[in-house]
Amino acid sequence: MWPALLRAVAFVAALYVVLAAVLWLSQSRMIFVAPRGAVPEPRAFGLTGQRVAVETADGLTIYGWYLPAEQGPGQMAPALIWFYGNAENVALLAPFLGSLHPPGHALLILDYRGYGQNPGHPSEAGLYWDADAAWAWLEGRPEIDLGRVAVYGRSLGSVPALYLATTKPVTAVILDSPFTSARAMARVHYRFFPSFLVRYTMDNLARSERLTAPLFIIHGTHDQVAPIRMGRAVARAGGARVLHEVQGAGHNDVYDKIQPPYAQLIRQFLDAARQPPGTP
């Protein structure tokens, strides 16, 4: 009996080690689901704008869209940098970006490295290089008021959004379904394995604690990917925070179930963030 039991225990232990090794080696592919696809021209969707190529500090060229603001001659416009979620890219979002483009703002959205038609491989450091490249590109646009640049990040996009908001003078932050950290996500989805196996940090909670810009969070109450408690934790971290909980929504259907409409809430928050302190 005992030899058979010991063999069974040894088999289970060996299987556990093998599965842990697979998780260790494949976590990059598990974290970054990167759909491919060429970036189309905005005019193909009836939008005014341009397809742009942006250089990163480590020598890559990444592609995306720039949709300018409607403004009078000589006026400088605020801007919104859009960081999308996992398994998305500009080509997939193209049919919806026109309705999500806040009035009066320029909109810049770039595919991450390894996404869309971009070269390179996705990584945490790569997200930050790509975010820095987006900011640097806007710095070269004379029509953009760099004192009024906001960032949006959905799910995975909350990582570069909060990174940029804590390293650049970002004036407002919008997060949709953010998570607290990579290890916290591992504890949710791979609870039988130690979180120290995760090689990524992606510590949104720590960055949120340092954030000084106004923050607006949208999160579904039935989110099974990044549970609502994560959005609540990021919202509690300090500063001017607003959490809009979408009752009954999961991780990917917030846009469909939210009331008032998604684009309206974003526009209202950005308009309020643009007002000088003390403005009624």
Write out the catalytic residue numbers.
155, 223, 251
The DSSP line for 17-66 is HHHHHHHHHHHHHHH----B-PPPPGGGGT---EEEEEE-TTS-EEEEEE
Nearest residue to 79 via CA among 24, 1, 141, 167: 141
Task: Give me the amino acid identity at 122.
Answer: P
Q: How far is CA 249 from the centre of its chain?
A: 18
Question: Tokens 């590109």 identify what position?
Answer: 137
Cα–Cα distance measured from residue 162 to residue 169, given in angstroms and rounded to the nearest whole number: 12
Cα–Cα distance measured from residue 90 to residue 112, given in angstroms and rounded to the nearest whole number: 10
Q: What is the CA radius of gyration of the chain?
A: 21
Give Cα separations from 8 to 14, 113, 125, 195, 264 (angstroms): 10, 45, 42, 26, 59
Q: Strands 172-176 and 106-110: what pairing?
A: unpaired
Furthest CA-CA distance within the chain = 87
Cα–Cα distance measured from residue 264 to residue 16, given in angstroms and rounded to the nearest whole number: 48
Contact, 102 vs 109, CB < 8 A?
A: no
Contact, 122 vs 116, CB < 8 A?
A: no
